[in-house]
Structures are given as structure tokens and as C-alpha cells.
Amino acid sequence: MNNLLEQYRVVRKLTEEICAPLEKEDYVVQPIGDVSPPKWHLGHTAWFFETFVLLPNLPGYREYDPQYNFVFNSYYETVGARVVRTDRGNLSRPSVEDVYSYRRHVDRGMEHLLQTDQLPSDVSELIILGLNHEQQHQELLYTDIKYILGHNPLLPVYSPQVKVSQSQNSTDEFLTLEAGVYDIGFEGEGFCFDNELGRHKVYLQEYRIAQNLVTNGEYLAFIEAGGYRDFRFWHAEGWDWVRQKNASQPLYWHQMDGKWMHYTLAGLQEIQLSEPVCHVSYYEAAAYAAWKGKRLPTEAEWEVAADRFSWGTRWEWTNSAYLPYPGFTRAPGAVGEYNGKFMVNQMVLRGASVATPARHSRKTYRNFFHPQHQWQFTGIRLAE
């Protein structure tokens, strides 16, 4: 079996394994616009391979259902109209069984294509992009499933086998990086997204960056000190967000019978003070840093220092707006819509999280979200 076919099978299998603990009713829920129903993720990742790989490159391939382009297109203007994102929860049809049948149909086509002798390099590269795209949706499945179940009044368990505790030390220890010119951005062999390309030089003043992430216990001190009630620590937009949401703690935190509890994929559990804080917005991360008399690192500072600390349990907010690197150009066609069109009004996160699939992280990976979002597995690393 060729390596690309093996990779394809492994990735596709994991997507369905993530959904295996769900009840059928869980597949269609959409509590908020930013969360997509698990059924939609399953269909969208199949649609990506059908639309961009099979239809242009496998002679005789039969499209499963012409309506699925409308149903499962996410944001690709190039390939036509689509269901409005906030309406994905209205898709009682196609059924869950139909979506799994769709995946089987696409898998048969991909198996046929991947057994072709001397697959053109551009097609291979597109398939690798599709696999990385599906891995992104695997992480989104975890985050969206957690939001769906974590907002169910019964707070049901997704899986009791999920490990939720990752104890660590406090953020007292800092690394010092000397002032100088450094290179950032992807280089070398292997896959990366287009927004990582354009390796370039940056000048950094001397700075210090925490070896560890901020813990629940440290963040709890911010809450108990009235951090959510003191405008001095917040950006103006962040303070508006606090007041509009009546925010007072990270997502999934609940005070019950005098104890701080939080919803996890393994169910409701008492907060472990030594665990890295999770599910905080950029606004909260920046406010906590200001309360501590520190700041968030820039993405360049984070990348330059990344080999000197442990990372990968939380996506780490940086103080960098999501902007193109020097020389960035969008690819022609629909693939060019993948990253470049989102380079406005979003903040960069670095690292990976406990929900990130294996071998889907790099120190040059540039994740990005709007500053109000909490539903990703986000955390805080301080700098000064």
C-alpha cells in the first residue's frame, strides 16, 4: 500500500472514531453560529475531496448528490452558493446514515484514485491539503461536540476515557531571549499551510517569556481579585464584551456548592488548580496579563522561543494580529480562499492543544480566531 493511501485511511478513520460516542441526536445540534453540527463536519470533509480532488481528476467519477455542493460548501465563493453557516443546524436532512453513505462513496473514489500509478504531483499536494483540512475539522469536532454537550442541561459525558488533567508548574519561571534579528516562518520539507510561507527576518528587543502556561489556580486569583469587574485591565472592546456577556469566568466553569467545577468531555469535574487554564478569549488572556503586569508574547517572540519550552496542550493567544507574511500570495482558484481571505480582525494563536491530531502541529503553525472566542482549547503564556 502506498504511503498516501495509508495516510488517507488513517485520517478518515479517526474522524469517524471521534463521532463514535455520539448519540444520533447529537449529530444535528447547533447551539450557536460558530459551532457546526457533527453531521455537517462529516459531510463537509467528504465534500472537500469530492469537489477538489475527485470531480476534476477521476474520470467517470459520479457525483453522489448535486445538492451536496450547496449543503456542505463552507466558505468557497468560487464553487457556488451554500447554506448560511448559522442555518447548518436546520439540516435534519440529509440523514446521518446518508452522510456516512456519502463518505463511503467518496472513500471508494479516493481509494481508486490513490491506487493510480504516478499520481501527478499537484494532485498529491491537493490530497495532502485535504488530509490536513480534515485534521483541522477533527479538532473542530472535539471543540464543537464539547460545546454541544457542555450546553446541554444534563451536561452528558462524551467519553469517560478522555484524559482531562494535565498538571504543570506555575508561571514563575521565565526565559530571557536576547535582542537580535531572528528568522521566522516555515522552511524545509513537508507540509505547511500557505500562511506559514515567506520565511523572513524580524528584529526583537530583549524579552522574557514564561516557561509554563497560566494555571487554573493562577487565573482563579484574577477572578477573586475582581478582575472581571475592573475596566482598567481590559481593552475597550474586551470591556464591552464583558458587560454584554456578563462574563465572570472561563467557558465551562461553574460555581456549585462552594466549589469551582468545569465541564469536560469526561463530564462535570472539580477544577484542578495546577492544570493550565482553558477556554479563555483573547480579551480574557490580555486582561489577565495586564493584571499581572505582563503582556502576551507576539507570534514572532513565541516562535523564536518555542524550542526552549514545552507546548501543545493549549492553543496560546499571542498579541499579533493575523496578517500576511512578506511576499504572501493567494493560490489561484478556490484553494486560494483557504487562508488569505481571513487576514482581518483576527488574532494569531500558536502551538497546539490536547484536541489537535497527532503530527498536525508545528512551531510555525499560525492558527487564528476572533478575539471573543472561547470555545477552542485556548490558554495563556505570559511575556514581558
Domain range summary for the chain, segments of one domain joined by +: 3-150, 174-379
For residue 326, what pLDDT is reported?
96
Tell which wins on pLDDT, 162 or 207.
207
Phi-psi region of 129 (alpha: psi -120 to 50; beta: other; left: phi over 0): alpha
CA 218 vs CA 109, 251, 353: distances in Å: 52, 16, 20
CA–CA separation, 311 and 304 (whole Å): 13
Half-sphere exposure of 26 (CA within 13 A, CB side): 23
Side chain identity, residue 11: V
Give per-residue pLDDT as tens, 332-360.
877 777 788 899 999 999 999 999 999 99
Give per-residue pLDDT as tens, 47-92.
999 999 999 999 999 999 999 999 999 878 777 888 888 889 999 9
Fold of 174-379: paralog of FGE (formylglycine-generating enzyme) (3.90.1580)
pTM of the model: 0.95
Q: How many CB atoms lie within 10 A of CB 158?
A: 21
Q: How would you classify the pairing of strands 347-351 and 367-369? A: antiparallel
Query: What mean pLDDT is predicted for residues 266-282?
Result: 97
